[in-house]
Amino acid sequence: MAQKSKAFDILFELGEARRNRDDWPDYKQYGLGRDDIDDLLNLVTDGALHDAPSEGNEVWVPLHAWRALGQLADPRAIEPLIGAFDSLWEDDWALAELPVAVAMLGQDGMRPLTEFLNDRSHAEFARAMAVEALEGIAERQPSVRDQVVAIITEYLDHPDQNAQGLNSCAVNTLITLNAVESIDSLRRLYESGKVDLLACGDIEEVEIELGLRTVRSTPAPNFLETYGLPAQY
């Protein structure tokens, strides 16, 4: 387990966090600074902390560490945090928050995130975290929105045929960024069938979301039936 230092004492005391991106504590108030980047990175991936008892405070330390790294916004943390996607994508909190922390580090993360997304040696949902981080950068810095749309669209022009969940995440990002200019790529993706309809709907729903149509031309499909899932009541 990573060794505690005086600067990190508070991280071992904060305990359970709230699942709210707008309610993170200001970690700088505790005396954490850029001199602590390496130690904070070690806490993020400390296996003993992740395996600590769920009722204790230590299991929450990695979360507080990646939140602090996001707030410190030091570019040295970009590639190590992206690398942590591989080991932490099965952690629900990391899946939701690590992309946010990376996005807080700014547009310098776009190149390594793009490389991670396009590297099929990484797990599907680790790559989906890269998509979420790119989306977060575009939302925080509208000036790079077009670049992010181009990155995601280029991926979908040559999608991973075995990663429908990732492809659907990319579709949802283009919807969030109102990427009307990507509609031809989206239509080709849907024609290929390499998308999870439960995650992002069919192409007509996408077109409605993008403002390209106001009503459906065909009846809304029963996606649960399509995938052989039980009806929900």
Residue 34 lies in a domain: no
Whole-angstrom Cα distance, residue 205 to residue 175?
Answer: 10
Residue 159 lies in a domain: yes
Report which of 93, 152, 79 is spatially closest to residue 117, judged by C-alpha positions.
152
Residue 146 lies in a domain: yes
- pTM (predicted TM-score): 0.91
Do 168 and 196 meet the contact criterion of CB atoms below 8 Å apart?
yes
Residue 145 lies in a domain: yes
pLDDT digits over 11-69, tens only?
999 999 887 777 899 999 999 999 999 999 999 999 999 999 989 999 999 999 999 99
Residue 189 lies in a domain: yes
Question: For residue 178, what are the contacts with CB-CB under 8 A and spacing of at least 6?
Answer: 210, 211
Residue 152 exposed, middle or buried by CB count within 10 Å (0-12, 13-18, 19+): buried
Whole-angstrom Cα distance, residue 160 to residue 128?
Answer: 12
Residue 80 vs residues 87, 93, 133, 141, 221: alpha-carbon distances, Å:
11, 18, 14, 22, 42
pLDDT tens per residue across all 233 residues of the chain: 444 456 678 899 999 988 777 789 999 999 999 999 999 999 999 999 999 998 999 999 999 999 999 999 999 999 999 999 999 999 999 999 999 999 999 999 999 999 999 999 999 999 999 999 999 999 999 999 999 999 999 999 999 999 999 999 999 999 999 999 999 999 999 999 999 998 989 999 999 999 999 999 998 887 666 655 565 54
pLDDT of residue 39: 93
**Range(s) of the domain holding residue 127:** 108-215
Residue 199 lies in a domain: yes
Residue 99 lies in a domain: no
Question: For residue 206, what are the contacts with CB-CB under 8 A and spacing of at least 6?
Answer: 171, 175, 186, 190, 200
Report which of 205, 228, 146 is spatially closest to residue 181, judged by C-alpha positions.
146
Number of domains observed in the structure of the chain: 1
- Give the three-class secondary structure for 76: helix
- Give the three-class secondary structure for 169: helix
Residue 198 lies in a domain: yes
